[in-house]
Amino acid sequence: MKQVRNTQAKTEILHLLSNASSALSHHEIQEKLNGLCNRVTTYRVLERLEKEGKIHKIVNIDGIVNYARCNHCSKEKHLHNHIHFNCEKCKEVICIENIVPEITLPENFTAHSYNFVISGICPKCAGIQ
């Protein structure tokens, strides 16, 4: 069995995503790492964490890929088919895991994953907190 390396960059990126209140873009992660690794290494670590079932990707309303920590995934079962809320004002992407849409596809179609992004204004930007 192949042993998985645990690098400082991987540990720090997973820590960032675990403690973030919203999903983070590659750029935001790179800024928070303060030069710990270059952008290519960051992409590779993010890809590896996704394959391990520890994080998932969300494409926001601007087409930017954001990353969030998975709460109930594993390498064997990587499901994150919940809703994501993208604030039009502050641009934060929030996982809303208690809402999972039910999808019915036409015959002979098979879904492997889906990405639901709802855009609007979050409570913080609406002044409702």
Residue 54: other Cβ atoms inside 10 A: 21
Instruction: Enumerate the domain spans of the chain.
Output: 8-126
Fold of domain 8-126: Arc Repressor Mutant, subunit A (1.10.10)
Degrees, nearest 5: CA angle 46-48-53: 95
Above 90 in pLDDT, residue 43?
Answer: yes
Binding-site members are 87, 90, 122, 125
pLDDT tens track for 1-25 = 344 456 899 999 999 999 999 999 9
pLDDT at 11: 94
pLDDT tens track for 62-116 = 899 999 998 766 566 656 677 889 999 999 999 887 777 788 899 999 877 777 8
pLDDT tens track for 104-124 = 899 999 877 777 889 999 999
Strands (E), the chain: 24-25, 55-59, 65-69, 83-87, 93-96, 116-120
Binding-site members for Zn(2+) are 87, 90, 122, 125
Looking at the whole model, is its pTM more than 0.85? no
